[in-house]
Structure 1
């Protein structure tokens, strides 16, 4: 193709933020010093929550902080060099969740967001305002402006907010299913389906396929936009060597009856030719034997190094995903 490609990435969580950094870096390597007009990231908002009167958007903030270069790369969440004085004071009052740490700088973000929401701004408008602070090199869009927080339903019927199940219990309580109440009536955030329709490449990050990418695809209209897109849809496996890279995605996959393997996640997404969303699927070198199984699904397999352990590897993966989409 001629000219700079228009790229859309569906992402959430730490894996998503690392991948977005890689795609941005790959675009910069092509001469786009500021790829903002060419890179759109549709971010999962299914793990959002209200806590101590403020609205938290963990995946939105993780990706924003990563692109801004202010994230705590070691912990994988929050701001680098943050302190926790306010969090400690909340604990003294018996407020908040003692097992859910809120950094002071991070709380500044949540307070600003909550104030704007209470003034009548939508989450899309809030995220646009947040993006003005730093030179992100990408346009960020929430998957929807509706509140569709994730609820984990345990096998005994107990219902927990996803963050309680994930952060407090570390996914040790066996889930029966995951729900996003109200998502059936939600709409894609303004600009989401339009960006997909205008894209030259659509990339699905190696994020948790159940609770990060799953909610994005569950917003009515998003899956249909992917199926009708003129651009190739390329996904990156979050499974390397039959194991999850980070977090407890294997527990999530088991809960919905999906094996923790690169081929099984490809099958979960499905081939566009068969009513799914994928044209191509990047799998790790450790999973090369699964290429034939992926091809049998009607999805083009590409074996590539998937570890994003440093900036050069992130960039190489971003470039590999773009190349897989033919841009």
Structure 2
């Protein structure tokens, strides 16, 4: 599966549960690393950590990010020193993860090797791979009220400004020279089905697809089924609608399907799950060459997420 963000973490839990009930092999999750950044000398991987913590059962389900029952003493001390970002909170347990990761990276390990080492701590029930070992952080170009453009790291635009600044474009500098992380292409080739999680199409799934060689690998996959992140014409969480508007895509299940495109015509998808609230959009999805499947898409708990995965696997077969 391709995943990122809170939606990707919830969906990954559903994938693990659905496959576990079948006695099937574990899934491989290709995780977005476009959200990554350096802060106070340590390397942060927000999407990687969200999915890792969720699978380990140690995530903060209330905030949607970070570790459960974390404290913020070190973060407060950093603020006293004027270090870091005052609007970007780092929990103490979370900082332990970032320090371990940074130490391993400085010792010469690749992000893939670091994530493999991190995964040994808990029985995750899934194999996690970064989309690439290259650094390709997402940069958002925004337009201020006076018309001037400036660049912000995605985390500043998303977390500090809550996507309130008008985005002009999203870039991942260095991604043109990147390649899929070791094992990614092989996992896609060996998979019975590739699932596209209901993650932000622009800043979570978009960077994964932008890695050179990724689309070619997906074009040769057995089946690719996506799950709409839009329910009832609205985003479920976050500000994905702002991202979609910036790239000229309507916030609708059918429009996002068309954005991904049909694999039969050089796009990504064979089938697309849309919510019951968007059932009227099914003919538009079908007309785009993508088989529509109407199903309940609210991920209220693991069982509900697993039911969505069941529907996606049925669509693939």
1:139 partner SS: strand
Residue by residue, what CA displacement relative to the aligned partner does 1:175-214 show, whole Å, maximum 9, x if unpaired?
0000000100100000001100111010000000000000
Residue by residue, what CA displacement relative to the aligned partner does 1:130-176 show, whole Å, maximum 9, x if unpaired?
00000000000000000000000012320000000000000000000
Select the residue among 160, 171, 174 that pairs with 2:163.
171
Please, what TM-score do these two structures have when normalized by structure 2? 0.98
Match of 2:285 in 1: 294
Kept in 2, the 8 Å contact 1:253–1:259? The answer is: yes
Cα distance in 2, alignment partners of residues 30 and 198 from structure 1: 18
Alpha-carbon shift at residue 31 of structure 1 (Å)? 2.7
Kept in 2, the 8 Å contact 1:25–1:318? The answer is: no
2:111 paired with 1:123: yes
1:203 partner SS: strand
Kept in 2, the 8 Å contact 1:19–1:314? The answer is: yes
Match of 1:139 in 2: 127
Q: CA RMSD in A?
A: 0.7
Q: Which moved more, 1:276-285 or 1:304-313?
A: 304-313
Match of 1:50 in 2: 38
Structure 1 residues 56-67: aligned runs within 5 Å: 56-67=44-55
Kept in 2, the 8 Å contact 1:149–1:180? The answer is: yes
Residue by residue, what CA displacement relative to the aligned partner does 1:57-114 show, whole Å, maximum 9, x if unpaired?
0000000000000000111000000000000000000000000000000000000000
Aligned length: 313
Cα distance in 2, alignment partners of residues 264 and 53 from structure 1: 40
Cα distance in 1, alignment partners of residues 137 and 23 from structure 2: 39
2:79 paired with 1:91: yes
Cα distance in 2, alignment partners of residues 187 and 312 from structure 1: 35
Structure 2: any 5+ residue segments left out of the alignment? none
Match of 2:141 in 1: 153
Structure 1: any 5+ residue segments left out of the alignment? 1-8
Structure 1 residues 1-327: aligned runs within 5 Å: 9-32=1-24, 35=25, 38-155=26-143, 156-229=148-221, 231-326=222-317
Runs of 4 or more, structure 1, over 2 Å off, are none
Cα distance in 2, alignment partners of residues 105 and 11 from structure 1: 24
Alpha-carbon shift at residue 310 of structure 1 (Å)? 1.3
Alpha-carbon shift at residue 324 of structure 1 (Å)? 1.4
Please, what TM-score do these two structures have when normalized by structure 1? 0.95
Kept in 2, the 8 Å contact 1:234–1:278? The answer is: yes
2:30 partner SS: strand
